Each structure stands twice: as structure tokens, then as C-alpha cells.
Amino acid sequence: MAQATVLHDPTVSPEPRSSGDRFVDWQPVGAGGSADVYKVFDSELGIPLAIKILKQAHQGDRRYIESLRREVLISRRLRHVNICPIHDLYEGERGVGIVMDLIEGYDLKEWLKSQRGKLLDTMPKRLTLFTKLCAALTVAHTLIIHRDLKPGNIFLRKGDPTDPVIMDFGLSSRDESDRTHQLEGGTPKYMAPEQYLGVDLDQRADLYALGILAYELFTDGHIPACSLKDVYKTGKLPEFRPEEIVPPSAFCAAIPPELDRLVLSLIEHDRDRRPATAADCSAVLAKVVLLDPFRPLTSPDQRPPAIAIPAGAYVVGEKAGRACDQPQRKIRLAAFQVGATPVTNGQYRRFLSATGYRAPALIGHALFGADNHPVVMVNWDDAAAYARWAGGRLPTELEWEVAARAGEGANIYPWGDTPPQTVHANIDNISSGTTPVGSYRLGDNALGLSDCCGNVWEWCSDSWDETLLKTIGLDAVDPHSHAHNDLRAIRGGSFDSPATTGRTSFRHRLEKTVMRADVGFRVVFGAG
């Protein structure tokens, strides 16, 4: 249960009254340090409610009884959609407590755990949550300081982070000089320094807690060095240099500078350097617009190594191949650059760190997740997101084919016309998984591209068109699929596919949402 400070005196003090048999069908739904929460049915009104009952150890403690009275009185004056309404006191055979709205859902602490690794996907909802908490505190601070704002005291209606409810506003005193009824409160991780030091508090203590919460919210669970999380172990405030606190935008590229500055200002140890009110925070948030996280963040010299493919006429297709490989066509391509290898885990990790994008399932695997292995378990959208961030895009099918052939139409495989041997490529189950990119130098093509045969299938930008090579005209310029479906072309074969799939002209397809341990990608860039 939270501890709080009343800023304006309530004047009426209700007496607990017996509830008789009005509340029935008691079901436990939660437990805290000083109280347990039950779902009940109000037989008089015909609605479900929640009742918070003091634990037995506190039933005779006047401070806790008074805290419940204040919680009711405050709630009667404090109405906001994101603050839990308290209706009345309860006194019955189960003890003493309060009657409040039943909110179906779970708390923010649980939600944060369930959404670990989904920072970028959930960033708009996280920003909405933060905005609504600021609006609720703006209203609350006209009467009260919460003193224990934390994820465990924020409930989400139906588990929706955009519909939060702040709980436990009740453990307060009528003014800061009235110590008789105050209870120990505050959770060290979120506690303001002045609260630990016993200094008289104002609403800026809540804003500090809100800042630690926001940092955790926008960094996927990280806690800044300024947090007092270890204060009861060390017996002193943490020592840190403010400039060493990593801004939230380092964890997610969608976070703009003004949101960075707001969060960092909220967690200043000097409260005079924090925003003065929650309303000030709301004014900043009203102007915050999330950035495009996939805007190119890397300069050309930071891109994955790429090889230039000059503009010109090229032959694609294979007369001796399957029906979908025929017929051979001469096409024209503008100049472009193509990644020398598939994108590696090491390269993809930099993308994850910069954007907050969700990590693929096997990136922590001892083999498949090694830095120099191709990243796998990425669907088409994941691959396209990385390519966009890196300043490029996924290749079209025919760009991929021309690059794999090194521009030579006669090359059935990247190195020529001889089928792959164990020295050429990781294909046909010679290995039980991926291998480091560039491991098969005899399989490199004449331009120096590696792993165009085997290791991993590679996503292409095109939607799948079975008749692509039959329908494009001779000398077509930069041809690509015009189909519209959820299948995407893949090329190159993988470690566990037959050797024939490693032919430069071999075409295959896959649902764009599929994530497999044998599918990766490489990126193409403009000619410049």
C-alpha cells in the first residue's frame, strides 16, 4: 500500500459501518504488504466491486484505520478516469477495509515483464501511458502526494497500457507536520532522495518516481544509476555522474530529444532542477512526436561491406532449369551496391541497440546467434526494417540473381557451372546449422560475394510471381514483380536444402511472416 501526503485538509470523517450480508461471493484477487484485495458481489446494487481488507496484523493499528478513512475522503474529492475510485469504508466479519471499483486486468509491473523485447512495437502505447499518468497526477496533486508511485501501483484496465489506473492514494497525513498518522512508505527503486532523507515533501517527489518509472518504461526495463534501489543496503545515496546516465533514446531510436530531456530532468537528485508540476510535463508531452525509428542512422562508411554492380545489360534465367526459371531474358539494371555477405548477428545487434527493435529468437543461441553467423529467425518485415535503417533496401529477385552470377549469365552457380562440393558452400546438410559468413572462399563469385549459395535463404523485396521471367519483356529496365500477395521470393538455398537450390537462377517463395532458422537476408544500396 502506498504512503501519501494530503495537500488540502478533508473536513469530514466517516465512521465504519457494518456491511451485513450485502457483499457476497468473496474471491481473492491480490495481496500487498498491508492489505489483501477481494472481488465481491454487491447484492444491494447488483454489481461486482473490489474490497481491500487490512491484514490481521494491522487491524488494530490506528494509523492504518485512519489511512483508510483518508483514502475514502480523498477519493470523494478526487475524480479522474485514471485514478481508482473509492466508494466507502467496509467493516464486517472479514475486518476493516475500503470498497472500490473492480478493475479487470493486471498491473504495469506484470505488463512490462510480458512485453520485454518489444520496446519499439509498443512505444506508442508506452508514450500514451506516460501522458495519461502525467494528466492524472496533475489532478491528484491538487489534493495529495502519492509517495509510492511505481509499476505495481498502476493497474491496466483489461491489460491495456493506454488505460492505466493509479491505485493506493490513501496512506496520507492531513499535513506534513502531522506525523502521528504517517506510515513508512516509498519503494527504494522509485523513491526520491528527499523522501529517503526525511525532508518535507511536495509533488516533485512523485515526479521523481514518475521519472524512474518512465526511464524503465522507455528503455525496456533498465534502471538508471541515480535510482535509490540499493539505498537500504548501502545506507547512503548512490554516487554517479549525471552525464553518465544513458538517455532513453539510446535504447529506442523512436524517442525524440524532447522526451529524452523530460525523462532525464525528472530524475534529477536536486528537486529544484526537476519540472515543478505534472502539468509542466504534460505541456512537453503535448508536443512530443515519435521519430521514424528506421530513418537511416548509419553513415555510408558504417554500412555492411558492399560490392558495386555496374549499370548494364544482364542475362537472367536458365534454359535448362525448371519451368518457373525459363525463359532466359536479357534485362537492364541501374547501378547498385550489394552486401558482400548476408547480414550478420553482430550487425543486426547494432540495429537492435539503436532502435529498440525486437530481437529474433535465436540471436542468443551459442551457434545460430554467434556474431559472425548470418542473422536468422527474421521475417520479411524484420529484414526490410533493418535494410531501411542501414540506408538500403532488400534486393529485387533479379538484382540478387545478377549479383550472385557476378554479371555472367553462364554462371549456373556463383563460381561457375560445376555443382557445389563441400569446399564451395554450406548446403545439402554438410553442416547441422549456419556457419560464419565468408567461410567458403572457393564458393565466392568473381566479384567477391560470399554465401550466395547455401548457408541461409535470403529474402528478396518482390512479392512472389510464378510467371515473372515469362512476362517481363526483353531489355526490361530494373524489372520486378508487380504481384500483390503475402508470399515473398527467397533465393540461394540454405544449409539444409538440396544442392540444386543453390543455383543462381533457382526461385523459391515463403510467407512474409515466417521466421526460420535457415532464412536470412542481405542488403542493397544505391550506386553512390
Check which CATH number belongs to the domain holding 452 and give it: 3.90.1580.10
Q: Are residues 394 and 413 in the same domain?
A: yes
Which residues are CB-contacts of 500 (< 8 A; sequence separation ≥ 6)? 506
How many Cβ atoms from other residues are within 10 Å of residue 158's Cβ?
9
Contact between 190 and 267 (Cβ < 8 Å): no
86-92 and 35-42 beta bridge pairing: unpaired
Compute the average pLDDT of residues 40-63.
87
Reported confidence tier of residue 292, pLDDT bands at 50, 70, 90? confident
**For residue 417, is it within any domain?**
yes
Q: Are residues 125 and 195 in the same domain?
A: yes
Rounded to a whole number of angstroms, the distance between the first and last alpha carbons of the chain is 61
Q: Are residues 394 and 503 in the same domain?
A: yes
**For residue 134, is it within any domain?**
yes
Instruction: Please state the domain count of the chain.
Output: 3
Span 225-273, pLDDT tens digits = 999 999 989 999 999 988 889 999 888 889 998 999 999 999 999 999 9
- 144: its cell numbers: 495529495
Lowest mean pLDDT among 120-134, 321-335, 392-406: 321-335
Q: Are residues 180 and 270 in the same domain?
A: yes
- Domain span at 65: 5-100
Helix (H, G, I), strand (E, B) or coil at 358: coil
How many Cβ atoms from other residues are within 10 Å of residue 235's Cβ?
7
Helix (H, G, I), strand (E, B) or coil at 25: strand
**For residue 290, is it within any domain?**
no
Q: Are residues 305 and 320 in the same domain?
A: yes
Q: Where are the alpha helices (DSSP H) in 272-390?
A: 278-285, 345-355, 380-389
Helix (H, G, I), strand (E, B) or coil at 133: helix
Helix (H, G, I), strand (E, B) or coil at 332: strand
| The pLDDT of residue 20 | 60
State which of 9-18, 140-149, 165-174 shows the largest mean pLDDT.
Answer: 140-149
Q: Are residues 142 and 215 in the same domain?
A: yes
Helix (H, G, I), strand (E, B) or coil at 48: strand
| The pLDDT of residue 185 | 63
Which residues are CB-contacts of 429 (< 8 A; sequence separation ≥ 6)? 495, 496
Q: Are residues 474 and 509 in the same domain?
A: yes
Residue with cell 511472416: 513
**For residue 295, is it within any domain?**
no
Domain boundary pick from 100, 116, 138: 100
Span 506-527, pLDDT tens digits = 999 999 999 999 999 999 998 7
299-322 burial, b at 16+ Cβ within 10 Å, e below that, comes to eeeebbebbebeeeebbbbbeebe
Q: Are residues 261 and 309 in the same domain?
A: no
Check which CATH number belongs to the domain holding 84 and give it: 3.30.200.20
Q: What number of residues does the chain have? A: 528
Domain boundary pick from 260, 285, 310: 285
Contact between 494 and 427 (Cβ < 8 Å): yes
**For residue 292, is it within any domain?**
no
**For residue 96, is it within any domain?**
yes
Contact between 172 and 6 (Cβ < 8 Å): yes
- pLDDT at 184 exceeding the cut of 90: no
Phi–psi pair at 249, nearest 5 degrees: -65, -20
26-61 burial, b at 16+ Cβ within 10 Å, e below that, comes to eeeeeeeebbbbbbbbbeeeeeebbbbbbbeebeee
Give the percent of the chain with pLDDT over 90: 66
Lowest mean pLDDT among 46-55, 77-86, 322-331: 322-331
Check which CATH number belongs to the domain holding 213 and give it: 1.10.510.10
Span 410-425, pLDDT tens digits = 999 999 999 999 999 9
Span 153-182, pLDDT tens digits = 999 999 999 999 998 765 433 233 333 333
**For residue 238, is it within any domain?**
yes
Domain boundary pick from 100, 125, 148: 100
Q: Are residues 67 and 9 in the same domain?
A: yes
Closest CA to 134 of 146, 118, 123: 146
Q: Are residues 202 and 146 in the same domain?
A: yes
**For residue 294, is it within any domain?**
no
Q: Are residues 19 and 123 in the same domain?
A: no
Q: Are residues 389 and 349 in the same domain?
A: yes
- pLDDT at 17 exceeding the cut of 50: no
